[in-house]
A and B are shown apart, each in its own frame.
Chain A
């Protein structure tokens, strides 16, 4: 389980992909992003697990499975 604080972005690959860009610049892909997080510019704290067994069409970074989140 990891905790990431950062901003929500929408990346223009394919029909679009939701991303969490951490304060250190690391980009995580939010595959099956929770509806409440789907807003560009949200500053959030997300707790989740990295999913190494998944590949995606967006290829923007590691996939972060969201367990819980808090909008800051």
Chain B
């Protein structure tokens, strides 16, 4: 459920609450119409943090890929149960991390497959054998992308891998 149940509201009443802007005051901006800004050199400094982080991100991404492979190998033949659910949750989170880190360090193809795996694991309990085939295809694709260091989403090998996964989805999905 995404809606908020708001016990503080009175039924049938819409309250519009205008809050004093403490943040502006804290920053020393005394005129209501004056605008604060983050200086461009500070923004450039933060952008450099992203670039610096990108190098480590690739390494960290590799660790998450390893975790996904290990968990998938443990989980794929397991019967439904709490342990399986727990491992599926781990794969879901780690696939999400792969997507985030890969996006950060410019590994767009890995980000793409990380997202596909995360969303697929999130949508199914993998109780049907066909679903396992699709997950396996996605895990394999991530592994290949990482090993061969294919970054670009429009690389010829990327097209081939995406076609392989699509074939699994078309056949078993």
**Do they bind each other?**
no
Interface set of A (CB-CB < 8 Å, partner B): none
